[in-house]
């Protein structure tokens, strides 16, 4: 496990002197993330924004596993994010399931959908892959719109507000924004730790090999299809977890969560922060949401700013904020 | 349910198919020749409608709008290719897709700033308004006109691609840009023109759609979905594919509208998913590199 | 106007970030602050971006006018009122986030706003859990039902049931053949249900219903069937852009020659966006139209104040909701002598107000504002006296609980 990590790090970091710095950053990335996330609600303008950064950061991290590390551009990840949210909301609202079980159900539902959509879509390649994921996720969107007795249709799902969390005799006031943030953060951190483990494992190296050159990876004897499917499903599971957290946070599930605009936003955040890097997606989500929040208070034409910044990044900083910072540090 | 209604419904489906072909044409050409997935397609369609509206209001004639707006927006498209898309050719196929995605945001918001976020009225030109009696039912004259325009455009495109030297270069360039460079042909000029042509056709679609659908900054977002569905079902980059797929989708929507009308949008995506699962590169498309 | 109101909260945020500097300033002038009392803060989420931006901007202008009129009189018991406008982007998730921010960070005393039904229900959910007063100004039947009831929420807008009842009363005749084109989502179904109930009471008959997908752009494939139904009245039950597209294409297909086109709600800004030709003769309901000033003194006062504050522009239907919603809330706060939640709720339940369109009051069981419904007909271009002269007021259905669903039908205990 460690051998493959250091070999990847060695390939990526170039000059021998820099290797130690990169390796140390990799080793400490989970504790560093925890520290940053603990500070987040104190640094941002509002706690509601901090929770959103947490949730969208997690979606982007999940998405990055597929886009950044495996090189597959999915345009349908809203489906898993949304399914996680809907399953949690329905479990609590219609079946009275306890919140922790509802989270588990949400993750399972989103993961199961990711497995099915993954199975169907990895047969296609390149642009067609993006289009199939887009089409299948639109089907999920219209299904949710039609199944209004379950999902609330266009009005959105509601009626499952969790005001208090009960666990082992403890009761946490879930309407208190700070307590809510730290509870949700525990789940996000667990997911980050999992992603870090996956990336450090030999499987993580296989994914990067597929991204770099699929034909060569296949020639090396890797089961490319199976690896892609596992990556797709894991990515969907993490997005589904983010969805369940979003449902608990907002106490509603808006139908827009399944719209392809949400998928597009996930892509933008990941790219903005830096696809294929561990911290990138979170930084992208933070930058995107902060930009949107601040600019939309100043002008209702925030989209022109967000779109313009995105264009500049694609043109001049394709590695994103974090990726650029890393290569700048390494290049000095 | 009588035969006349079903015949009329079929006809509406074919007419809708023609409109969908028009909507998808620009996207299909640019992908087929340049391998660029233009996510700003819907936005440029909308910009075309606004440009047509603006020219028509200046000149007082729909016909000038129909003529000038596509040319102007086509030229604008060339600027996009030259300064935004060209730097990305050497990069991954995802990059132009992502860039145009951002460009779509910018264009929609720019139109909101210039023309306001509300829609603007666009009347059917008086010489084309009214309904025609087809024997099986009534149909707006303007829609018949659009079908005719689409037929003419397709014919011209086919002639241009199959019967001219430029068409030969374009087709060869799409297959192997390297060879063109060896032959001493400046492929970047060809691509500039093809991109401009694609965007011009997109804008033409916008102007033609303006009197049928309402002109507003969000009108492109549905168009993008429709164009993708048609292009992908037909096989990206195949002109014949786009035509067959457009008609197929139009008739599918129309027949669904007859028997289960609330499913008329979902059927489009279901059809696309189905086709891709059976033929991963569309009906007439060739497999693409990963 | 909009810029100004949005500038203020931005400054507040900056001040919060600056932290110490703001604290120092507060310490330096404690006397002044105490004398003035705490500002009454009202959160106002509305879709400033997206297809209803024009309506949203009118709402903001009208809400600001309501606040200004109170502040000009010295506020309420010496307390100034501040409106905190937020862009909900027509997205329920965004709206829930903004509402949380308004409650948790800006510590607002009440929320007014929302244009779409989904946004309204999201704000309702957030305010209900946190015990914050919410005056909703979006049209929906769902909010009246007991499942979504919140004792903190008051529903200022019309609901589809009352609108369709009024429109049907003045358009359907015994024996009329009615065909329905209905958007397939909650709001569409609510309107269809309302029309069909009225249709049965009047003795008209339905010749067919077609559900169309929500957000469709092309309606051509529905037209042959609608035409074959040969209706006297074509009832188009959808909203906004869907309505505009459906009406325009129905006219293109010549449907207006054989049938009268009727819609539940006519929107001022949509009519402006589509033009007089397609809308000519279309009949629909509304909560407000500036032409009411001929018969209702409060409308004249509101129009004049609005025009004076906005360079001569006329107030619109959805805009007026911003005015009546904020005004009723401020009247109740004044009556309650402060912002104590229970007292303000009691005051709202007792309130009789007439600020723009004649007498209104909130029904006790579901907190629905009982108010008049206008039935309008879109004018021909030749009949328009000016740019804003869009509609003819065919009838005004007076404020009465009889056009609402009964409390027991909504699920409330008798």
In a domain, B201, yes or no: yes
Lowest mean pLDDT among A173-187, A287-301, C227-241, C340-354: A287-301
- The minimal CB distance from B273 to the residues A139, A306, A308 is found for A139
Confidence bin at A113 (pLDDT 50/70/90): very high
Give the pLDDT mean for A58-86.
Answer: 95
Residue C131 has pLDDT above 90, yes or no: yes
Could you tell me if C216 lies within 8 Å of chain A, comparing CB atoms? no
In a domain, C318, yes or no: yes
**Rounded to 5 degrees, what angle do the CA atoms A136, A138, A141 make?**
120
Residue C19 CA, chain-centre distance (Å), reads 38
Residue C25 has pLDDT above 80, yes or no: no
Same domain, C175 and C89: no
Whether B101 and A127 lie within 8 Å, measured CB to CB: no
Both tokens of residue C207?
């010749």
Lowest mean pLDDT among A16-20, A65-69, C300-304: A16-20
pLDDT > 70 fraction of chain A, expressed in percent and rounded: 94
Chains linked to C by 3 or more Cβ pairs within 8 Å: A, B
Q: Work out the minimum CA distance from C218 to partner chain B, whole angstroms.
A: 7
Q: Work out the minimum CA distance from C222 to partner chain B, whole angstroms.
A: 6
- The minimal CB distance from C273 to the residues B120, B212, B254 is found for B120
Which pLDDT belongs to residue B114?
A: 94
Whether B93 and A126 lie within 8 Å, measured CB to CB: yes
Whether B131 and C273 lie within 8 Å, measured CB to CB: no
Whether A48 and C142 lie within 8 Å, measured CB to CB: no
Which pLDDT belongs to residue C400?
A: 93
- The minimal CB distance from A163 to the residues C10, C93, C129 is found for C129
Confidence bin at B177 (pLDDT 50/70/90): confident
d(CA B181, CA C151): 74
3-class secondary structure, B235: coil
Q: Domain count of chain C?
A: 2
Q: DSSP class of residue C340?
A: -
Residue C101 has pLDDT above 80, yes or no: yes
Same domain, C99 and C215: no
Residue C29 has pLDDT above 50, yes or no: no
Whether B84 and A315 lie within 8 Å, measured CB to CB: yes
Query: In chain A, which residues have their Cβ closer than 8 Å to the Cβ of C48?
Result: 296, 300
Whether B272 and A125 lie within 8 Å, measured CB to CB: no
Could you tell me if C233 lies within 8 Å of chain A, comparing CB atoms? no
Its domain, for residue B173, covers 18-219
Whether A154 and C214 lie within 8 Å, measured CB to CB: yes
The Cβ of residue B134 has, within 10 Å, a number of other Cβ atoms equal to: 12
Q: Domain count of chain B?
A: 1
Whether A307 and B282 lie within 8 Å, measured CB to CB: no
Same domain, C322 and C207: no
Confidence bin at A298 (pLDDT 50/70/90): confident
Query: In chain A, which residues have their Cβ closer than 8 Å to the Cβ of C213?
Result: 142
Residue C14 has pLDDT above 60, yes or no: no
Query: In chain B, which residues have their Cβ closer than 8 Å to the Cβ of C269?
Result: 118
Residue that has been written with the tokens 């599971």 in this structure: A237
Give the pLDDT mean for B45-60.
Answer: 95
- The minimal CB distance from B273 to the residues A123, A136, A307 is found for A136
Residue that has been written with the tokens 């004639």 in this structure: B61
Lowest mean pLDDT among A6-10, C76-80, C132-136: A6-10
Q: Work out the minimum CA distance from C87 to partner chain A, whole angstroms.
A: 7
Q: From B108, which residue of chain C is nearest by alpha-carbon distance?
A: C50
Q: Which residues of A touch B (CB under 8 A)?
A: 73, 120, 123-128, 130-132, 134-136, 138-139, 142-143, 146, 214-215, 260, 264, 267-268, 271, 301, 303-304, 306-308, 310-311, 314-315, 318
Same domain, C203 and C260: yes
Whether C274 and B139 lie within 8 Å, measured CB to CB: no
Query: In chain C, which residues have their Cβ closer than 8 Å to the Cβ of B140?
Result: 252-254
Q: From C52, which residue of chain B is nearest by alpha-carbon distance?
A: B118
Confidence bin at C24 (pLDDT 50/70/90): very low
Query: In chain C, which residues have their Cβ closer than 8 Å to the Cβ of A147?
Result: none
More confidently predicted of C22 and C105: C105
Whether B258 and C225 lie within 8 Å, measured CB to CB: yes
Same domain, C85 and C206: no
Give the pLDDT mean for B284-290.
Answer: 64
More confidently predicted of C26 and C344: C344
In this structure, what is the dihedral angle of CA atoms A179, A183, A185, A187, given to the nearest 10 degrees? -170
Same domain, C138 and C168: no
The Cβ of residue C132 has, within 10 Å, a number of other Cβ atoms equal to: 21
Same domain, C199 and C210: yes
Confidence bin at C8 (pLDDT 50/70/90): very low
Which pLDDT belongs to residue A166?
A: 83
d(CA B282, CA B235): 4
Could you tell me if C205 lies within 8 Å of chain A, comparing CB atoms? no
Whether C224 and B137 lie within 8 Å, measured CB to CB: yes
Considering the entire predicted model, what is its pTM?
A: 0.90
Q: Work out the minimum CA distance from A281 to partner chain B, whole angstroms.
A: 16
Give the pLDDT mean for A208-233.
Answer: 92
Q: Work out the minimum CA distance from C48 to partner chain A, whole angstroms.
A: 6
Q: How far is CA A97 from CA A93, A183, B214, C128, C131, in A?
A: 8, 18, 47, 21, 25
Whether A127 and B31 lie within 8 Å, measured CB to CB: yes
Whether C121 and A158 lie within 8 Å, measured CB to CB: yes
In this structure, what is the dihedral angle of CA atoms C357, C362, C363, C368, given to the nearest 10 degrees? 80
Same domain, C247 and C395: yes
Query: In chain C, which residues have their Cβ closer than 8 Å to the Cβ of B254?
Result: 221
Q: How many CB pairs under 8 A join A and C?
A: 113
Residue that has been written with the tokens 């987040």 in this structure: A40
Give the pLDDT mean for B18-47.
Answer: 90
Residue C313 has pLDDT above 50, yes or no: yes
Give the pLDDT mean for B238-254.
Answer: 92
Among C45, C121, C142, C189, the strongest candidate for a mutation testing the A interface, having the largest count of A CBs within 10 A, is C121
Confidence bin at B211 (pLDDT 50/70/90): very high
Same domain, C141 and C39: yes
In a domain, B253, yes or no: no
Nearest to B192 by CA among B25, B43, B30: B30
d(CA A123, CA A109): 22
Interface of A with C in 33-52 (CB under 8 A): 45-49, 52
Q: How far is CA B223 from CA A58, B40, B70, in A?
A: 31, 11, 17
- The minimal CB distance from C129 to the residues A45, A48, A161 is found for A161
In a domain, B278, yes or no: no
Please state at what angle helix A320-331 crosses helix A16-27, rounded to 10 degrees: 140
C275: alpha, beta or left, given left = phi > 0 and alpha = psi -120 to 50?
A: left
Chains linked to A by 3 or more Cβ pairs within 8 Å: B, C
Contact yes or no for C292/C372 (Cβ under 8 A): no
- The minimal CB distance from A310 to the residues B102, B108, B273 is found for B102
Which pLDDT belongs to residue B169?
A: 84
Residue C22 has pLDDT above 50, yes or no: no
Contact yes or no for C227/C201 (Cβ under 8 A): no
Query: In chain A, which residues have their Cβ closer than 8 Å to the Cβ of C125?
Result: 158-159, 161, 251-252
Could you tell me if B258 lies within 8 Å of chain C, comparing CB atoms? yes
Domain CATH for C277: 3.40.50.2300
Same domain, C149 and C225: no
Lowest mean pLDDT among A5-14, A56-65, A95-104, B71-80: A5-14
In a domain, C316, yes or no: yes
Could you tell me if C411 lies within 8 Å of chain A, comparing CB atoms? no
Give the pLDDT mean for C334-342.
Answer: 95
Residue spans of the domains in chain A: they are 2-7+47-259
Confidence bin at B287 (pLDDT 50/70/90): low
Whether B228 and A311 lie within 8 Å, measured CB to CB: no
Its domain, for residue C302, covers 2-158+296-370
Q: Work out the minimum CA distance from B31 to partner chain A, whole angstroms.
A: 10
Same domain, C100 and C142: yes
Contact yes or no for C235/C178 (Cβ under 8 A): yes
Lowest mean pLDDT among A158-162, A232-236, B222-226: B222-226
Query: In chain C, which residues have their Cβ closer than 8 Å to the Cβ of A303?
Result: 49
More confidently predicted of A13 and C254: C254
Whether A298 and C96 lie within 8 Å, measured CB to CB: no
């Amino acid at each position: 496990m460690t051998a493959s990590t250091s070999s990847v790090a060695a390939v990526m970091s170039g000059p021998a002197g820099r290797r130690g710095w990169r390796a140390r950053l990799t080793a400490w990335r989970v504790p560093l993330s925890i520290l940053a996330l603990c500070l987040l609600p104190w640094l941002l303008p509002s706690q509601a924004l901090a929770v959103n950064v947490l949730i969208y950061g997690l979606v982007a991290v999940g998405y990055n596993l597929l886009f950044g590390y495996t090189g597959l551009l999915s345009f349908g990840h809203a489906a898993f994010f949304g399914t996680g949210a809907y399953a949690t909301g329905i479990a609590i609202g219609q079946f009275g399931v306890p919140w922790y079980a509802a989270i588990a159900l949400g993750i399972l539902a989103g993961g199961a959908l990711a497995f099915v959509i993954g199975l169907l879509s990895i047969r296609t390649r390149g642009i067609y892959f993006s289009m199939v994921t887009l089409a299948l996720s639109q089907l999920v969107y219209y299904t949710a719109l039609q199944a209004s007795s379950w999902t609330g249709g266009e009005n959105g799902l509601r009626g499952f507000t969790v005001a208090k969390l009960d666990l082992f005799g403890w009761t946490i006031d879930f309407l208190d924004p700070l307590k809510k943030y730290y509870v949700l953060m525990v789940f996000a951190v667990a997911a980050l730790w999992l992603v870090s483990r996956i990336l450090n494992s030999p499987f993580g190296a296989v994914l990067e090999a597929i991204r770099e050159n699929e034909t060569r990876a296949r020639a090396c004897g890797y089961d490319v299809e199976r690896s892609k499917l596992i990556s797709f499903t894991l990515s969907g599971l993490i997005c589904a977890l983010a969805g369940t957290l979003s449902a608990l946070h907002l106490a509603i599930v808006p139908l827009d969560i399944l719209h392809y605009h949400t998928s597009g936003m996930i892509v933008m955040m990941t790219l903005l922060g830096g696809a294929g890097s561990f911290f990138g997606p979170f930084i992208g989500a933070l930058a995107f949401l902060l930009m949107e929040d601040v600019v939309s208070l100043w002008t209702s034409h925030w989209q022109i700013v967000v779109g313009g910044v995105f264009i500049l990044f694609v043109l001049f900083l394709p590695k994103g904020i974090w990726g650029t910072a890393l290569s700048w540090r390494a290049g000095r | 349910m009588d035969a006349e209604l079903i015949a009329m419904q079929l006809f509406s489906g074919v007419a809708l198919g023609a409109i969908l072909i028009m909507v998808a044409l620009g996207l299909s050409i640019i992908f087929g020749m340049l391998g660029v997935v233009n996510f700003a397609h819907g936005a440029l369609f909308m910009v075309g409608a606004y440009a047509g509206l603006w020219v028509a209001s200046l000149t007082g004639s729909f016909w000038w709008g129909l003529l000038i707006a596509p040319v102007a927006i086509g030229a604008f498209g060339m600027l996009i290719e030259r300064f935004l898309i060209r730097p990305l050719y050497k990069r991954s196929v995802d990059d132009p897709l992502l860039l145009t995605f951002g460009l779509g945001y910018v264009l929609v918001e720019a139109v909101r700033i210039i023309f306001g976020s509300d829609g603007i009225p666009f009347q059917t030109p008086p010489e084309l308004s009214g309904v025609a009696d087809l024997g099986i039912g009534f149909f707006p004259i303007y829609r018949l006109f659009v079908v005719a325009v689409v037929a003419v455009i397709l014919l011209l495109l086919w002639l241009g691609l199959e019967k001219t030297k430029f068409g030969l270069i374009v087709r060869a360039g799409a297959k192997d840009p390297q060879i063109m460079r060896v032959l001493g042909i400046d492929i970047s000029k060809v691509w500039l023109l093809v991109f401009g042509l694609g965007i011009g056709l997109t804008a033409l679609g916008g102007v033609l759609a303006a009197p049928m659908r309402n002109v507003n900054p969000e009108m492109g977002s549905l168009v993008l979905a429709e164009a993708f569905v048609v292009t992908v079902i037909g096989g990206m980059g195949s002109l014949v594919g786009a035509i067959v797929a457009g008609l197929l989708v139009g008739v599918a929507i129309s027949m669904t509208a007859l028997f289960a009308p609330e499913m008329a949008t979902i059927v489009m995506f279901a059809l696309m998913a189905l086709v891709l699962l059976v033929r991963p590169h569309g009906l007439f498309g060739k497999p693409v590199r990963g | 106007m909009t810029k100004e109101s949005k500038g203020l909260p931005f400054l507040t945020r900056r001040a919060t970030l600056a932290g110490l500097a703001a604290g120092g300033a507060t310490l330096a002038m404690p006397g002044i602050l105490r004398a003035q009392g705490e500002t009454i803060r009202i959160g106002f989420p509305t879709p400033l971006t997206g297809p209803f931006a024009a309506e949203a901007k009118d709402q903001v202008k009208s809400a600001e006018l309501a606040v200004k009129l109170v502040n000009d009189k010295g506020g309420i018991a010496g307390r100034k009122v501040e409106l905190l406008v937020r862009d909900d982007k027509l997205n329920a998730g965004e709206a829930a986030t903004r509402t949380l921010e308004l409650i948790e960070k800006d510590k607002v005393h009440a929320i007014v706003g929302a244009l779409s039904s989904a946004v309204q229900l999201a704000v309702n959910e957030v305010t209900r859990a946190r015990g914050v007063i919410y005056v909703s100004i979006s049209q929906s039947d769902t909010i009246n039902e007991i499942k979504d009831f919140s004792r903190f929420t008051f529903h200022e807008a019309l609901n589809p049931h009352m609108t369709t009842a009024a429109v049907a009363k003045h358009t359907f005749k015994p024996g009329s053949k009615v065909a329905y084109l209905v958007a397939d989502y909650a709001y569409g179904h609510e309107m269809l249900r309302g029309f069909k109930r009225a249709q049965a009471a009047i003795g008209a008959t339905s010749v067919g219903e077609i559900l169309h997908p929500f957000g469709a752009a092309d309606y051509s494939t529905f037209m042959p069937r609608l035409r074959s139904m040969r209706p006297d009245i074509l009832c188009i039950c959808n909203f906004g852009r869907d309505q505009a597209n459906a009406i325009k294409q129905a006219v293109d297909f010549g449907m207006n020659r054989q049938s009268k086109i009727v819609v539940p709600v006519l929107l001022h800004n949509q009519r402006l966006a589509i033009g007089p030709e397609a809308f000519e003769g279309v009949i629909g309901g509304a909560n407000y139209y500036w032409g009411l000033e001929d018969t209702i003194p409060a409308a004249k006062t509101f129009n004049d104040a609005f025009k004076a504050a906005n360079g001569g522009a006329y107030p619109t239907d959805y805009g007026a909701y911003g005015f009546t919603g904020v005004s009723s809330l401020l009247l109740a706060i004044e009556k309650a002598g402060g912002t104590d939640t229970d007292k303000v709720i009691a005051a709202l339940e007792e309130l009789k107000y007439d600020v723009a369109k004649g007498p209104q009051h909130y029904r006790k069981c579901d907190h629905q504002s009982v108010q008049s419904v206008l039935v309008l007909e879109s004018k021909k271009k030749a009949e328009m006296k000016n740019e804003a002269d869009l509609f003819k007021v065919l009838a005004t259905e007076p404020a009465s609980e009889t056009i609402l669903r009964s409390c027991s039908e909504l699920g409330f205990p008798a």
